[in-house]
């Protein structure tokens, strides 16, 4: 692919324990296909090509990137990777350290290679300051999410995430987490809200986690150097996140394609 960096649209797909998660949805979004038709029909040839590429790599985990030219949307798709995760497995298990980074401009409707390169440069700067990820806000102070992942806040029996109206990125895993949470809410006794969040919501939180297609659901261990204590025994947060991860695992295994 010879496009200038900003003209290439991209999708990043998480491969976890030998399985590519939400592969069909990533292919559908990249190619602007109808998700319902893709769900009901056989796997798209691009899905099969990605699966073959991943199997040939011999890796169990990693990230596969698909690139398509914005100038030629029906042209060839480049498959890159799989590459290692951006964070070591210990960091993913133990939680990421977040650093407030100030205001971020609105993101484009589609992922672009140029934005991905900028995000990686921003993450490199975060690590210089002892953080793993940056936490961004809008011009009005509303929390938007991390550089490459969506933010979820657990407070008591309530799960909140920044709304799209406040400027949050409409990621595929965000959709899947919201879908799984709506299914689990009645049984687990919690409520779900897409809303405007500010810094005060972080101070009240019993738990925080991030969600992104390339990394899955990842806990947060600290914000701006303030360690987050574990949720008390018996608190809704203690059972919510494990149940969400399990349900997401089931949905991905079923080739689930979350609707808007």
**What is the reported pLDDT for 151?**
93
For all residues of the chain together, what is the average pLDDT?
Answer: 79
**What confidence category does residue 152 fall into, taking pLDDT thresholds of 50, 70 and 90?**
very high
Whether residue 56 is predicted with pLDDT greater than 60 in this model: the reply is yes
Question: For 42-62, what is the mean pLDDT?
Answer: 88
Residue 30 has pLDDT above 90, yes or no: no
So what's the pLDDT on residue 114?
A: 64
- 206-222: pLDDT as tens digits: 888 999 877 788 888 88
pTM: 0.78
User: 23-27, 63-67, 128-132, 188-192: lowest mean pLDDT where?
Assistant: 128-132
**Residue 4: pLDDT over 70:** no
Predicted confidence band of residue 250 (pLDDT cuts 50, 70, 90): confident
Per-residue HEC secondary structure of the chain comes to CCCCHHHEEEEEEEEECCEECCHHHHHHHHHCCCHHHHHHCCCCHHHHHHHHHHHHHCCCCEEEEEEEECCCCCCCCEEEEEECCCCCHHHHHHCEEEEEEEECCCCCCCCEHHHHHHHHHHHHHHHHCCCCEEEEECCCCCEEEECCCEEEEEECCEEEEECCCCCCCCCHHHHHHHHHHHHHHHHHCCEEEEECCCHHHHHHCCEEEEEECCCEEEEEEEECCEECCCCCCCCHHHHHHHHHHHHHHHHHHCCCCCCC
Structure confidence at residue 131 as a pLDDT band (50, 70, 90): confident
Give the domains, in start order, of the chain with CATH numbers.
5-83 (3.30.470.10), 89-253 (3.20.10.10)
> Region 126-154: what's the mean pLDDT?
84
* Average pLDDT rounded to a whole number, residues 220-239: 79
Q: Tell me the range of 44-48, 103-107, 167-171 where mean pLDDT is highest.
A: 44-48
pLDDT tier at 99 (50, 70, 90 boundaries)? confident
pLDDT at 73 over 70: no
> Quick check: 255 pLDDT over 70?
no
Check whether 158 has a pLDDT greater than 80.
Answer: yes
Mean pLDDT of 168-191: 87
């Amino acid at each position: 692919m010879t496009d200038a960096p900003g003209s290439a649209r991209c999708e990043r797909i998480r491969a976890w324990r030998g399985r590519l998660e939400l592969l069909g949805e990533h292919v559908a979004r990249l190619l602007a296909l109808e998700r319902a038709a893709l769900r009901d029909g056989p796997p798209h040839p691009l899905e099969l090509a990605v699966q073959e590429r991943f199997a040939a790599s011999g890796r169990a985990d990693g990230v596969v990137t698909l690139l398509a030219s914005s100038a030629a949307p029906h042209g060839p798709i480049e498959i890159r990777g799989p590459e290692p995760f951006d964070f070591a497995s210990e960091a993913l298990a133990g939680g990421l350290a977040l650093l407030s980074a100030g205001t971020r401009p609105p993101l484009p409707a589609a992922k672009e290679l140029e934005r991905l390169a900028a995000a990686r440069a921003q993450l490199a700067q975060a690590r210089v300051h002892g953080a793993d990820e940056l936490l961004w806000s809008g011009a009005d102070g509303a929390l938007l999410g991390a550089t490459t992942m969506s933010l979820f806040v657990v407070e008591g029996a309530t799960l909140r995430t920044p709304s799209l109206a406040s400027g949050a990125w409409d990621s595929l895993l965000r959709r899947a987490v919201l879908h799984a949470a709506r299914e689990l809410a009645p049984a687990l006794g919690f409520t779900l809200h897409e809303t405007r969040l500010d810094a005060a919501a972080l101070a009240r939180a019993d738990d925080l986690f991030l969600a992104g297609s390339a990394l899955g659901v990842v806990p947060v261990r600290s914000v701006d150097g303030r360690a987050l204590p574990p949720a008390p025994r018996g608190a809704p947060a203690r059972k919510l996140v494990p149940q969400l991860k399990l349900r997401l695992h089931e949905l991905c295994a079923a080739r689930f394609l979350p609707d808007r």
